[in-house]
């Protein structure tokens, strides 16, 4: 795949900026490959063999599950630097799709596992990675179980803002994506967003751009 090889060569700085898997892979001889995905393109499917570990170089991805009744559940979004597709068993438990156009890095799972076996530092980073994911899920669980619609949306935006280290956030995902992640409908997400604007908790300069107001104290 010449495309992927070109992507690697032309994108050194993205590799350097990314965290997590990239840093782990950087300690290995095999730095992996970068592939371009277009919007909504599938990266891997549920139940497919989990031979690779993935990292977001640029863009964003979503981990999706289709429910029996046709509804869609988004377990998580992955932003640049995030690692995904790290499974315990042999198969993926989610479908992964690109939210918008995205560059995704790949590392062979066996390579990573062998490295973890030999280098306790790689092993520790790997553990830290899953422990991090665990804590994120715990927080998200609390949100889903015990927060009303507008709080879910607000907390979601605040998490994105903290992640971006900026009050201004460009949303890569649609209202529908957000809804399926927060356990709401897209209509409720839209209403909640505009409610937050009325409350002066956020600003909405354009449909996909949000400015999170600093927690007002006074």
Partner DNA sequence: CGAGCGTTTGAACAGCGTCAAAACAAGTGG
Partner DNA sequence: CCACTTGTTTTGACGCTGTTCAAACGCTCG
Given the rule CB under 7 A, which residues bind DNA?
Answer: 148-150, 174-176, 183-191, 193-194, 204, 207-208
Q: Are 183 and 151 in contact (CB under 8 A)?
A: no
CB of 126 to DNA, least distance (A): 35
Q: Are 65 and 94 in contact (CB under 8 A)?
A: yes
Q: Which does 110 bind (CB under 5 to 8 A by kind): DNA, a copy of itself, none?
A: none
Instruction: Please report whether residue 65 would count as binding a copy of itself according to CB under 8 A.
Output: yes
Q: Are 154 and 198 in contact (CB under 8 A)?
A: no
DSSP code string of 112-165: HHHHHHH-HHHHHHHHHHHHHHHHHHHHHHHHHHH--HHHHHHHHHHHHHHHHT
Q: Which does 191 bind (CB under 5 to 8 A by kind): DNA, a copy of itself, none?
A: DNA
CB of 174 to DNA, least distance (A): 3
Q: Which does 162 bind (CB under 5 to 8 A by kind): DNA, a copy of itself, none?
A: none
Complex with a copy of itself: residue 33 or 158, whichever CB lies closer: 158
Q: Are 175 and 189 in contact (CB under 8 A)?
A: yes
Q: Are 18 and 55 in contact (CB under 8 A)?
A: yes
Q: Which of 193, 77, 212, 73 is nearest to 144 (CA)?
A: 73
Q: In whole angstroms, give the CA distance from residue 58 to residue 161.
A: 17
Give the residue, chosen from 2, 13, 145, 218, that forms a contact with a copy of itself under the rule CB under 8 A.
145
Instruction: Please report whether residue 165 would count as binding a copy of itself according to CB under 8 A.
Output: no
Q: Which does 93 bind (CB under 5 to 8 A by kind): a copy of itself, DNA, none?
A: a copy of itself
Neighbours of 1 (CB within 10 A): 8
Q: Are 97 and 84 in contact (CB under 8 A)?
A: no
Complex with a copy of itself: residue 30 or 134, whichever CB lies closer: 134
Complex with a copy of itself: residue 12 or 68, whichever CB lies closer: 68
Task: Kindly tell me the burial class for residue 83, based on how many C-beta atoms sit within 10 Å of its own C-beta (0-12, 13-18, 19 or more).
Answer: buried
Instruction: Please report whether residue 142 would count as binding a copy of itself according to CB under 8 A.
Output: yes
Instruction: Please report whether residue 140 would count as binding a copy of itself according to CB under 8 A.
Output: yes
Q: Which does 88 bind (CB under 5 to 8 A by kind): DNA, a copy of itself, none?
A: a copy of itself
| Residues contributing to the site for a copy of itself (CB under 8 A) | 65, 67, 71, 73, 75, 87-88, 93-94, 116-117, 120, 123, 126-128, 130-135, 137-138, 140-142, 144-146, 181-183
């Amino acid at each position: 795949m010449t495309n992927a090889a070109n992507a690697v060569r032309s994108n050194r700085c993205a590799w350097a900026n990314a965290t997590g898997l990239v840093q782990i892979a950087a300690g290995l001889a095999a730095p992996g490959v970068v592939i371009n995905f277009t919007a909504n393109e599938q990266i891997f499917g549920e139940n497919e063999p989990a031979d690779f570990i993935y990292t977001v170089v640029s863009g964003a991805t979503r981990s999706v599950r289709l429910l029996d009744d046709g509804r869609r559940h988004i377990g998580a979004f992955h932003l640049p630097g995030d690692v995904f597709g790290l499974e315990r068993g042999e198969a993926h438990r989610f479908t992964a799709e690109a939210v918008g156009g995205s560059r995704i890095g790949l590392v062979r799972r066996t390579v990573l596992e062998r490295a973890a076996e030999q280098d306790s530092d790689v092993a520790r980073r790997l553990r830290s990675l899953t422990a991090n994911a665990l804590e994120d899920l715990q927080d998200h669980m609390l949100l889903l179980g015990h927060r009303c619609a507008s709080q879910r949306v607000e907390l979601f935006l605040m998490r994105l803002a903290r992640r971006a280290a900026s009050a201004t956030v460009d949303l890569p995902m649609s209202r529908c994506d957000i809804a399926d992640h927060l356990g709401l409908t897209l209509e409720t997400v839209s209403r909640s967003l505009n409610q937050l604007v009325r409350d002066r908790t956020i600003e909405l300069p354009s449909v996909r751009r949000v400015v999170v107001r600093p927690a007002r104290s006074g």
